[in-house]
Structure 1
């Protein structure tokens, strides 16, 4: 598993800022219909959770795709920091201890992959889903708050997998 660099985290934060800026309905609209407007964040948030889980997969096609996405994001972000603002490249600090996905948790992530791919292609929120997954991949291995979200997500998916596969097996 690849860990995010400053550049990768910068790309993840840029994706988050871009999405939130495009989403922002304005104060009056938000005050009139807070649940409806917050509901527009749901596709991005769910896809972010998927991206965070995808980067925790240690092998297979999903793990490879997530690692490749993080690698190119790290490279692009590091290049932007060095050539754009004269910064330096490096790791974001000590990453939190990640809880690996169990066999059952991996099964749930595979099922989630099917749902995310279909939703990204068929849903009107396809762009938000793609952006959310990419943002989750970039931020889940950071040492910040977003990185700490990966542990409860993994625990939750592992527990769901144990329940689903325990009933079916």
Structure 2
């Protein structure tokens, strides 16, 4: 298992900061009509949740792709920390335990993968979806607040899988 490093978490937070700053409509606009502005965040947030899920012990091609993206992000972040600001790479910034996905939860992640790929290709929010998934992969197993979001996500997907596939079986 590859762990996210301080550099990988930094990359994830940079993606999040870039997206929020690009999205920010201004305080006046948010006070006036917040619905449409907050709605523009939804594709990023949903993709972020998907990215968190793919890194939670998902195997096969989806898990390998997520782990490769996390490894590359950690490497890039570590290089940026060392060569960009003269810092050090730091230790692993991962949580050591997390809630694994059940078989039915993994089936839901497979279904979500198809939906995310289709949405990224066909939607006008394709860029937001890709950035959200990348951010979720970087932050999904981090030891900070974003890592704690992975547990309720895993519980929700496991419940959904049990509910949907329990009704089918």
Q: Could you say which TM-score interval applies, normalised by the shorter chain? A: over 0.9
Deviation string 1:57-100 (CA, Å, 9 cap, x unpaired) is 33100000000000000000000000001111133446152111
Equivalences for residues 1-169 of structure 1 within 5 A: 1-93=1-93, 95=95, 97-169=97-169
CA contact (8 A) 2:48 2:132 kept: yes
C-alpha separation between the residues in 2 aligned to 1:91 and 1:156?
A: 30
Using the TM superposition, give the Cα deviation of residue 4 of structure 1 relative to its aligned residue in structure 2, in angstroms.
1.0
Name whichever of 49-58 and 129-138 sits farther off.
49-58
C-alpha separation between the residues in 2 aligned to 1:114 and 1:120?
A: 10
C-alpha separation between the residues in 1 aligned to 2:42 and 2:124?
A: 13
Deviation string 1:3-44 (CA, Å, 9 cap, x unpaired) is 210000000000000000110011221111111111111000
When normalised by structure 2's length, the TM-score is 0.96
C-alpha separation between the residues in 1 aligned to 2:21 and 2:47?
A: 18
Give structure 1 regions of 4+ aligned residues with deviation exceeding 4 angstroms. Answer: none
When normalised by structure 1's length, the TM-score is 0.96
CA contact (8 A) 1:92 1:143 kept: no
CA contact (8 A) 2:45 2:132 kept: yes
Residue segments in structure 1 that go unaligned for 5+ positions in a row: none
Root-mean-square deviation (Å): 1.1
Deviation string 1:115-157 (CA, Å, 9 cap, x unpaired) is 0000000001111000000000000111000001111110110
